Structure 1
Amino acid sequence: MTDRRLAIDAWESLFRAQHEVFGDINQDFDEDTLSQAEYDVLLTVTRAPEMTARLRDVTSNMLISQPSVSRLVDRMAVRGLIVKCADPDDGRGSLVRATATGAAQFRKIASAHGRAIAERMSLLTDDELAQLRDLASKLRKKQPTC
C-alpha cells in the first residue's frame, strides 16, 4: 500500500516544480506574436504530416476544453497562422494546417523556447531527465480500476 503522506508530499513537490518551471518558460511567449496556447496548437500541427492535423488531435494535446480550442483555432485562422477546413474522412471533423506564416512564427519561438527548457532542465543529469520523463509518463497512463 502506498504511504499516503509520502504520496501527498510527492504530489505537492511535483505540482510546485511544474508551476515554477512553467512560469519561467512561459516568458518565452509574447501575446503579440504567439501565445502559449497558439504555440501548443502549432506544435501539434507542424509535427503532423504536411503540417496538417485533425482538430480532435489538436484538442487532445491541449490543456483547455474543446470549445476553447475551437475558438482559439478560429482566431488563429483569422490571424493567418493556420487554415481550417472540413476533414474529407470525417464529415463532422475539421483539419487544421499551418500556413507559411504560422510555421515561421512557430519555428522562431520554438528555437528560443527549446533553449529555455534545456537551460531550466540542466539542473538534472541526463539519467535524471530520462527517469523524470518515464515517471511522468507512468503517472499520465490511466491505471485500471478494480
Structure 2
Amino acid sequence: MTDRRLAIDAWESLFRAQHEVFHEISSDFDDELGQAEYDVLLTVTRGPEMTARLRDVTANMLISQPSVSRLVDRMVSRGLLTKCADPDDRRGSLVTATDAGAAVFRRVASAHGKAIAERMSPLDDAELAQLRDLTAKLRRRPASD
C-alpha cells in the first residue's frame, strides 16, 4: 500500500518542479511562435511528410478540441500550416507544416532544446533516464477494476 503522505509530498514536489522549470523555459517562446503553436508543430513535424491528423494533434495538447481547432486555423492563416480533409476519414482533417512553419519550428526548437538541456543539467544521464521512465509510468492509466 502506498504511503499517502509520501505520495502527496512526491506529487507536490513534482508539480512545483514542473511549474518552476516551465516558467524558466517559457521565455523560449515569443510572438513569432507561442508555446501552444510550438506543441502543434512538434506533433506535425514528427509525422510523415510533416503531416498529422488533427485528432492526433489534439490528443497531444492540454487544451480542448475546439481550442486546438481554432489554434490550427489561426496557424493556417499565418502560413505556418495547411489543412485539408483526411482522405482516409472524411470527418477528420490533416494538417501539414509549411516550409515557413517548419523553419520557425526548427529555430525555436533549437533554442528550446538548449534551454531544456541546461535546466536539466543537474541530473546525470542515469537520473534523466529514471525520471523519464518514472513519469511515463505515472502517465499510464491503471487497469480498471
Equivalent residue runs for 1:1-146 within 5 Å: 1-30=1-30, 32-146=31-145
CA deviation map 1:117-145 (0-9, x unaligned): 00000010100000000000000000013
Secondary structure, counterpart of 2:74 in structure 1: helix
Secondary structure, counterpart of 2:83 in structure 1: strand
CA deviation map 1:6-52 (0-9, x unaligned): 0000000000000000001111000x210000000000000100000
Percent of aligned pairs sharing the same letter: 79
How many residue pairs match? The answer is 145
Measured in 2, the distance between the counterparts of 1:118 and 1:85 equals 36
Q: CA RMSD for the aligned pairs?
A: 0.5
Measured in 2, the distance between the counterparts of 1:114 and 1:51 equals 19
Counterpart residue identity of residue 16, structure 2: R
Structure 1 segments of 4 or more deviating over 4 A? none
Measured in 2, the distance between the counterparts of 1:124 and 1:145 equals 35
Shift of the alpha carbon at 1:110?
0.4
Stretches of structure 2 lacking an aligned partner (at least 5 in a row): none
CA deviation map 1:42-75 (0-9, x unaligned): 0000010000000000000111111100000000
Measured in 2, the distance between the counterparts of 1:145 and 1:48 equals 32
Secondary structure, counterpart of 1:123 in structure 2: coil
